[in-house]
Chain A
Amino acid sequence: KEKTEQMAILLALRAAEIMDIP
């Protein structure tokens, strides 16, 4: 469950980075 959460955060941060959202 914790891994799912960590992955979710990483995916969200990567997407935000690509879209130039700090």
Chain B
Amino acid sequence: AGVDFLTNDITKPYWETGGKICEVNIQAGIDGMSPDPENSGFHFEQVFSLMFPEGTRTAIPMVVILEDGPSKTVAALNDVFKSQNLMVGRKTTTEVSIGNNLLVDVMGNAASEAVLWNPMIDAAIIQETAKSIEAYGLAYSVSECVILPRMPSNNDPETVKKILSTLTQTAVQAVVYNTDDKQLSDWVRSNDQERYYPVSLT
């Protein structure tokens, strides 16, 4: 659909300008503004090359870590991102933050959405637990990378397998897992192992 939006300054977010949607069209086409069959698609090309310049990445790094309690992996990854001066959005089991700012009174999937939809962030770290996925599902269908530090132990084994499958299916780039965890390794072996990257202390 095409959404017509009125604002007095398109460079600013709507919550600053107070802009409003005035019309929604079901068969939108910006080429209609200057119809020219020879240059069909020209305007779209301009829009897309502005939004996604060639060679730049079009998605921010988004990593999901499946781990209970305070996660050292979350902390380590946060350090890596921060060392690259990236603005990190984080949802952990204890806090939700954008950079150094804590978001209060937001939990669960709403917290994941608050992080992932925040236009300020350059990278996202989402911590999940098997229990929360079992209870509430996921707030997203795609992630870049899923990290599995250990096999979740506080759920019934069949449920854990379902949770692992659901979560790892979101990873478009990779699933990085601790191969020193025997149960986790066994689970990976029983799966399609493409895109799985083992990490071992030995």
Contact = CB atoms under 8 A, between A and B. Distances in A.
Partners in one complex: yes
Question: Which of B79, B80, B177, B180 is packed against the most chain A CB atoms within 10 Å?
Answer: B80
B62 to A, nearest CB: 9
Question: Which of A6, A18, A19 is packed against the most chain B CB atoms within 10 Å?
Answer: A19
Interface string A1-22: 0011111111111111011111
B152 interface: no
A13 B145 CA distance: 12
Given A3-B201, A8-B73, 8 more contacts: A7-B73, A9-B72, A11-B73, A11-B178, A12-B76, A19-B173, A21-B61, A21-B84
A6 B75 CA distance: 12
A7 B149 contact: yes
Interface of A: 3-16, 18-22
Nearest to B59: A19
A4 B123 CA distance: 24
B77 A15 contact: yes
Nearest to A9: B76
Given A8-B149, A11-B149, A16 B77 contact: yes
A15 to B, nearest CB: 5
B176 interface: yes
Which secondary structure dominates chain B's binding surface? mixed
B197 A14 contact: yes
Nearest to A1: B72
Which secondary structure dominates chain A's binding surface? helix
Interface in B42-76: 57, 61, 63, 71-73, 75-76
Contact of A18 (B84, B174, B177, B180): B174
A11 B174 contact: no
B81 interface: yes
B132 to A, nearest CB: 20
Contacts of B84: 21-22
B39 to A, nearest CB: 36
B147 interface: yes
